[in-house]
Amino acid sequence: MARGTKAVLAYDAGPRAGMGHRRRMQALSRALGLLGVDSTLADAGNGAVADLVVVDSYAYRADDRARFSGMTVAAVDDLRRNLEVDLVIDPSPGSTPTPHQRARRVLAGHTYAMVDPDLASRPRPPVNDTVARALVTTGATDMAGSGASVAGRLASLLPATSVRLVIGPWGSTSVPEGVEPVSAADGLHTELAAVDLVVTAAGVTLLESLALGRPTVAFVTADNQQGAADGVAAVGAAVVTSIDEAPTVAARLAADAGQRRRLSQAGPAFVDGLGCRRIAEALLAARREASPT
């Protein structure tokens, strides 16, 4: 049933949407490919028709039958919109199936965290006694330069540490003195694996950092990130704080190798990197049920 299935993964694209939807769909596409399903990534604004349609959109509802049509229609939805679809994936840590009453099946919580399945088998770097490199990222659309502010303050608190700042495609290009800019159009996996400390908004990068066992400080920059922040804080997988306090909290964590090692163990235990594989298997099961012959 897997081979020959036409799958379209539709997501919000462009500067207003950022990169999170795209990165989740790229990770799911890779997981589907490992199961023998070729998938096409598409702009949700153009709609989608296929055997299997997965919609990751805040702008459009996956249960809009005029826009999205297929034997199986699934939604990635962490806005709790109670969509009437075959399958809802609510991958935010701490989420539950309760808000999704109209879906035939719901996959909710950290078990379904949507990160690249390659992270599950990628070696996790050791936690060193000192923090030689730190990475700051506040998302692809940080026009206000919040990341630059955090990185600049962190660099002043940790003068012996190389502080790197991710410059998003639609964000401010301002880089404070003493901070090294990073452009990562193809994702942050390599950057994350090469640093001793991550300071990030509570989006997809937070989950990737945890999967790689990186000691992480997280903060909320958008309402839809609150669930993820609450979920990781509840199990001690990351240190969650405000963006204003993030540099001070990160500097304190840099001085505590014991806590960084505990976080390095807790992160992968919470986000094991297999979420997209589980989702892909559930999608194919739903597809088989829709067309058992």
- CATH code of residue 254: 3.40.50.2000
Range of the domain at 150: 121-270
Domain count, the chain: 2
**pLDDT reported for residue 1:** 47
Query: How far from each other are the two terminal CA atoms of the chain, in whole angstroms?
Result: 9
| Inter-residue contact 205 to 184 (CB < 8 Å) | no
Q: Tally Cβ neighbours within 10 Å of residue 177.
A: 7
> CA-to-CA distance for 150 and 12, rounded, in angstroms?
28
Which segments in the chain show pLDDT lower than 70? 1-4, 185, 292-293
Q: Which residue has the tokens 């001085």?
A: 255
Residue 217 in domain: yes
**pLDDT reported for residue 16:** 78
Read off the tokens for 213: 């066992």
Residue 1 in domain: no
Find the CATH number of the domain harbouring 281. 3.40.50.11190
**pLDDT reported for residue 205:** 95
**pLDDT reported for residue 183:** 87
Cα-Cα-Cα-Cα dihedral sign, residues 183, 189, 190, 195: positive
Residue 2 in domain: no
Residues 6+ apart with CB under 8 A from 185: 169
Answer yes or no: do 232 and 130 share one domain: yes
